[in-house]
Every structure is written in structure tokens, then in C-alpha cells.
Amino acid sequence: MLRKKIKYTDGPVGKVKIINDFLPTPDELVLKEETIKVTLSLTKESVKFFKYEAERRDTHYQTMIRVLLDEYSHRFSHT
């Protein structure tokens, strides 16, 4: 399927409506949650899995583990 090519010009664009800025500030985009450092022993296979998956997704494996635990605790604390 061929796409129609858009042609841009310096001419008038028609009726313009200015809207208020509705985007959040960069500070509002940073999700900061209170965290507590703990020592946790995991199997080598679990750590290997999370490191591999985190690398594929360009993130940190500790973050993935934290999100997993958060999801688990939220799911079962509200039942």
C-alpha cells in the first residue's frame, strides 16, 4: 500500500486554536517511590534470567525484580 506524500509549504495553515499547555513538567514524570534497601538471596538462575531480560529491554534487572514484587504484593493485598 502506497502512502500519500505530505507536502509542506510556508503558506497559511487555516484556522489555528491555541490550547493551554497540558503536558506534565519533567519533574512530574519522574516516579519517585520510597524504597528500603534489603539483602535478598536469589538463585543464580533467577538473577541470570532477570539480567538477560533487562539487557534486552535496556533497563536494570533490580528494577524488574522490584516491579514484579510490587505487582505481586498489590495483587494479593487487595483481595
**Which residues of the chain are under the pLDDT cut of 70?**
1, 79
Q: What is the pLDDT of residues 18-39, one digit of tens each?
A: 888 888 777 777 777 888 999 9
- pTM listed for this prediction: 0.59
Chain centroid to Cα 33, Å, comes to 14
Q: Coil, strand, or helix at residue 1? A: coil
Largest CA distance in the chain: 65
Angstrom distance (rounded) from CA 65 to CA 50: 7
CA 67 centroid distance within chain:
11
Domain ranges of the chain: 43-79
